[in-house]
Amino acid sequence: MYDIIVVGGGPAGLSAAITARQRGKSVAVVTNDASGSGLYRAGQVRNYPGLPDISGADLLDKLREHAESMGASVINERVLAIAPADGAVGVSRATDVSRAAAVILAIGAAQSSVFPGEAEFLGRGVSYCATCDGMFFRGKRVCVVMRAPDAESEAEYLESIGCEVVRLSPRDMTINGARTVESVTADGETVRCAGVFILRRTIAPASLAAGVELRGGHIGTDEAMRASLPGVFAAGDCAGPPYQIAKAAGQGQIAALSAAGYIDGGGGL
């Protein structure tokens, strides 16, 4: 049990972790490995105040070092789902479930829209989690859409339990079937399969936190960065534009102060 779990290790999430530690809260940041993120690969960041020529990679490394030096734990793992229950918020990772008094979502903006058929066949062949749903596809052919750093390990897991895996990195894809998935058409080529595992770097907010209120595709928040679920806050790109690092860091701080206030039973800020 942590006081606060931060989902996402970009500027918003790490800034939130730093402020939460300053408020004496125990904090875990659960995140993809930073390398491979858009910011990590960005060259120079020119508009972050006070650090005019820092590279995206250096900025992320410094933010992480800062958060860790303050006592935040950084866990490199995929978060599958969060759900409020029992007066806390449960956070499911691939290998474990943790609970926190509050959760801050700093998951970035989804880079890709959903594929035609994806929502319709969710739970009927479309899955976002090999370790959860792989067993239903033993002895069958599945496609894995490789858009996340851990996609290869998920594909290998599916092979290890007896699935025939077709790895795809399509630009366009349509998911076809009647009641359940029967094939996908990826960049014009149709592959017959019983399931398709779609592994993106960023999970759509509605899949990660079912029932959270959205506003224009982003997580809807109030001025204290509270989302619509109890104990859940959001900051950074996932809370809407502008997609700027300074704004993300500022929102992360607000979210952490609000979360600390929520835990202490006060009004937040």
Partner 1 sequence: MAISHLTAETFDGAIRSGAVIVDFWADWCRPCKLLAPVMDELEAEYGGKVSFAKVDVDACGELAARYEVMSIPTVILFRNGAEIKRFIGAQPKSAYREALASA
Q: Which residues bind partner 1 (CB under 8 A)?
A: 80-86, 90-97, 122-127, 129, 131-133, 135-137, 179-180, 195, 207, 210-211, 229
Q: How many CB atoms lie within 10 A of CB 2?
A: 21
Percentages of the chain per state (helix, strand, coil), in multiples of 5: 30, 30, 40
Q: For the CB of residue 93, give the shortest distance to partner 1 in the complex, in Å.
A: 7
Name the residue nearer to partner 1 (CB basis): 148 or 260.
Answer: 148
The DSSP code for 44 is: B
Strand partners, 103: 5, 232
Give the span between the Cα atoms of 69 and 39, in whole angstroms.
Answer: 22
Whole-angstrom Cα distance, residue 170 to residue 155? 16
Which is nearer to partner 1, 4 or 14 (by Cβ)? 4
- State the burial class of residue 139 (Cβ atoms within 10 Å of its Cβ: 0-12, 13-18, 19+): exposed
To partner 1, the closest distance from the beta carbon of 125 in angstroms equals 6
3-class SS at 219? strand
Taking the complex as a whole, the smallest distance from the CB of residue 157 to partner 1 amounts, in Å, to 11
Nearer to partner 1 by Cβ, of 137 and 262: the residue is 137
Nearer CB in complex with partner 1: 210/269 = 210
Which amino acid belongs to residue 208? L
Q: Is 167 helix (H, G, I), strand (E, B) or coil?
A: strand
**Shortest distance, CB of residue 80 to partner 1, whole angstroms?**
5
Determine the 3-state secondary structure of 247 from DSSP: helix
Closer Cβ to partner 1, 206 or 246, answer by number: 206
Least CB distance to partner 1 at residue 180 (A):
6
